[in-house]
Amino acid sequence: MSLWQQLIYVLLRATIFIRESGFSELSVAIWQGLIELNFCGPKSPEEPVDRIKTFGEFWETELPRVGEENALGWNHFVQQSGDIDAPGSIIDATTNELDGNGLFRSWSAAERRRHNASSLPARTLDDVAEDDPYRQDAELARKIFSGLSTTLDLAEYYMAFEWKNEPATIKKVCKGLLKQHPTSLRLYNAYAMIEAARGNRDVSNNSLTSTPATLLRTKQYLRSNRDYLLSSGNFYHAALHTELLALLEYLTTTSPQETQSSTQGNITSALTIYTTLSTTLTIHPTAHELLLQSSARLLHHHARTGPFRPALLRQHLTTYLTLFPSNTIFLSLYTWNESRLRIENRVRAILHSTVLLLEHDVLTSRIFAITYEIQHGTIHSARSAFEHAVASPACRASPALWRLYLLYCLQTPEFVGMAKDIWYRALNACPWAKELYVLGLERLEGIVAFEELRRTWRVMGEKELRVHVDLEERFEDMVELEEGRKMGRLGFRQ
């Protein structure tokens, strides 16, 4: 991993930590600043100190930043010599309604409303309900991707993002991106997969197949470019060329070695193409794993569209899991194949012999094992999977895992009595994770004594987590009310 990749990873982990502590506005602002600084700034050469200074001037104007409505960017600010009107103020209309009969449950709801309303850094002129030094709308990611889609890597992510969130307009988005990158095989391949997923098989196939002469030229082109990319060390793009070559082979040829219906292609020849390159890509794990994921997807497609041999899938997926035991795509397909035969021991065997070994242990694999036991095992095997997961060095500090464990106990009558202990263990393992405090205060009222809940609420302040809705005044009012009741009882006795 290069130095810049390591730096981005460290920053990502840091901003996730900041967000989970309740400071989502600060986390968003950090990424806004970095994107403006690196992608949206003036092109004129400047010394780093001077560049940071001029960027600071733009930031302090509180003009819309990348991802926000009407954002034009730092470069536009410089071109206009700073002569731009400031945006209008934002009015925060949320309320903090608390119910004395369910104080912590109502506080959790109010705290979440306040968190959702203050997800962008506030400006000095904004009319917000609290003194907020920090303060992402739902369109933030879309606007960032759209603005930076001229970069090929981000264009592919943008296409995937729009397909996931706005499938009705994906065709227009894809055509625009392909117009920007007309020679990108990656984008054409992504577009073909999207059209196939939408059920437009003819459109998908037409993007990959044509007349026999064109097919021959296309295959020759893909092979020669794949070989050139391999020789030049560009393994990632070599894998992409191989994927397209395998798909073409699958769609346009036949073979007697495997049963093939009218809706299926030549799986034998396609797998041969994947396997041949797989032996070469062992020196580049990332490209190798992506290549095998493509092979697994094709195996799944083949199995869903006609007759197939389960042993064929098992053979290849076992190999893929041996190479990449943390890959949940391979694990999911392996489980899907075995579940058709109702053979569950094979799944548990590969989990314990390969996937969950200490050297391979990751959170996604643990979540998979838990989900598998919930769906195919008993409540006790599911709880055992949870316990093994939270005891794992790789997963014990995951707030998401502890949250799932707590919710599972609360939703399982036999384990409700364990919920309090699970909650305190979760807070001890992840003391920075505000959501774990909020969840427990919301769901454990009536299970945990009021005084314990109050002490735990105050721990958030001691840990310097972000709390929007203060309860101290309400606590004081409750103390005064209780003292008044005591005095009344004493007077009555006299």
pLDDT digits (tens, 9 = 90+) for 401-435: 999 999 999 999 999 999 999 999 999 999 999 99
pLDDT at residue 122 in the model: 64
pTM score, whole prediction: 0.74
**Rounded to the nearest 5°, which phi and psi values hold at 398?**
-95, 110
Decide if 218 is inside a domain: no
Decide if 30 is inside a domain: yes
d(CA 352, CA 342): 19
Decide if 23 is inside a domain: yes
Strand partners, 418: none
Q: Is 264 left (phi over 0), alpha (psi -120 to 50) or beta?
A: beta
pLDDT greater than 60 at residue 93: no
Decide if 27 is inside a domain: yes
Average pLDDT over residues 145-173: 80
Decide if 242 is inside a domain: no
* DSSP letter, residue 307: -
pLDDT greater than 90 at residue 306: yes
Tell me the HSE value of 147 on the side-chain side, using a 13 A CA sphere.
Answer: 20
Within a 10 A sphere around the Cβ of 345, how many other Cβ atoms?
8
pLDDT at residue 42 in the model: 85
d(CA 356, CA 370): 12
Q: What mean pLDDT, rounded, does the chain reach? A: 86
**Rounded to the nearest 5°, which phi and psi values hold at 83?**
-85, 70
- CA angle in degrees (0–180, nearest 5) for 251-258-322: 90
For 255-278, how does the pLDDT look when each residue is reduced to its tens digit (9 = 90+)? 889 988 988 999 999 999 999 999
Decide if 55 is inside a domain: yes
How far, in Å, are 87, 100, 145, 479 from residue 487 at the CA level? 56, 21, 64, 12
pLDDT at residue 208 in the model: 57
CA 140 to chain centre: 15
Please give the residue range of the domain that contains residue 71.
1-84
Confidence of residue 135 (pLDDT cuts 50, 70, 90): very low
For 26-58, how does the pLDDT look when each residue is reduced to its tens digit (9 = 90+)? 888 888 888 888 888 888 777 777 888 888 888
pLDDT at residue 136 in the model: 46
Decide if 4 is inside a domain: yes
Decide if 239 is inside a domain: no
Count of domains in the chain? Answer: 1
SS3 at position 449: coil
* Contact (CB, 8 A) for 269 and 249: yes
d(CA 341, CA 61): 64
* Contact (CB, 8 A) for 438 and 456: no
Residue type, 196: A
Q: What sign for the dihedral angle of Cα 171, 174, 179, 182?
A: negative
The segment with the largest mean pLDDT, out of 70-84, 151-165, 178-192, 379-393, is: 379-393
Confidence of residue 477 (pLDDT cuts 50, 70, 90): confident
- CA angle in degrees (0–180, nearest 5) for 287-207-184: 45
